[in-house]
Each structure stands twice: as C-alpha cells, then as structure tokens.
Amino acid sequence: MLEALNKQVNAELYSAYLYLSMAAYFESINLKGFSNWMRVQAQEEVSHAMKFFDYINERGGRVKMMAIEQPPTEWNSPLDAFETTYEHETNVTRMINDLVNMAMEEKDHATYNMLQWFVAEQVEEEASADEIRQQLKLIGDDGRGIMMLDRELRQRTFTPPQEEKQ
C-alpha cells in the first residue's frame, strides 16, 4: 500500500506539471484566462500530492520522491488541450479507484477512509474538465466564443481543500 501511495504522490505532481505545461501553452497563444484555469488546476494537484504526502507521514511511512515524467508541451487547439485534460482526469480516477480496491483487499480501513475524499474530488475534477471541453466543442472555431470563455476562466481562483481529520 505504501508503494502505491508513493506512486500516487508522483502522479499528482505529474498532474501539476502537465497543467503548468498547458498554462505555458495558453500563455503562448495569448489566452490568459485559460492559462489561469490551468495554473489553478496545477495548485490543486500539488495540494492533492501533499494530502498523500502528509497521510503517508501520519501513518509512519516514508515518502519517496521519484522523477516526474516530462509532460507534452504542444496542443493543436484549446479543445485539444481540454480533451487531454479530461482524458488525464479519467486516468487519475482509475488510479484512485485502484488504490481504493487495494485498501479494501488489504483491509486497510484508514487508507480506505482517506481515499474517499479523492473519490469525491475526482467526480468534480472530471465534471469541471468535461464542462469546458463540451463548451469548446459548441464554440468550435468562433474566436468570439473563445474570448468569452477566456474571460470566464480568468475568474477562477485557488481554494485550498478543507482540512479534515482522517
């Protein structure tokens, strides 16, 4: 279980790295609202990594940092980037579900309980990425629609997750 949780720390940090790469892409095409959304998403992913980091330490385990894979740096369009985002979040959901299954198999009730926060969080993560993805599909190549969505995405701010005792 400890090895799997350490791998999840790495996966969450990769997610942050991926979203920072997307933020850089959006900056390069002058979509600062999209970039902001990705920066906030990166902050969320770091906070997720830290929840795992802290949990491992609370349970007397040892966190082992691993190399973070280089993320892609180019996308064909905002829609392409959000297709990647949605696909990535569904992969993270599978990884969280695998951790839940492992905790159940090992009868690790504390880890199972901690993971329930992530199960609920992934529902929100997928829905958020999918909503923007679907909006981009409707907008198509309409530059005015892209600019309106860019203004909306500029409003997103980072809200740290509530601290709760596991």
User: Closest Cα to residue 87, out of 18, 36, 7, 17?
Assistant: 18
User: Closest Cα to residue 158, out of 19, 8, 28?
Assistant: 19
Structural domain contains residue 95: yes
Structural domain contains residue 141: yes
Task: Supply the Cα-derived Rg of the chain in whole angstroms.
Answer: 17
Per-residue model confidence (pLDDT) at position 166: 42
Per-residue model confidence (pLDDT) at position 84: 98
CATH assignment of the domain containing 99 = 1.20.1260.10
Structural domain contains residue 158: no
**Tens place of pLDDT for every residue, the chain, 166 residues?**
999 999 999 999 999 999 999 999 999 999 999 999 999 999 999 999 999 999 999 999 999 999 999 999 999 999 999 999 999 999 999 999 999 999 999 999 999 999 999 999 999 999 999 999 999 999 999 999 999 999 999 999 999 887 544 4
pTM to 2 decimal places: 0.93
First to last CA, the chain: 17
Structural domain contains residue 163: no
Structural domain contains residue 42: yes
Per-residue model confidence (pLDDT) at position 162: 73
71 and 25 in contact (C-beta within 8 Å)? no
**For the chain, how many structural domains are there in total?**
1
Per-residue model confidence (pLDDT) at position 97: 98
Structural domain contains residue 166: no
Domain that holds residue 119: 2-153
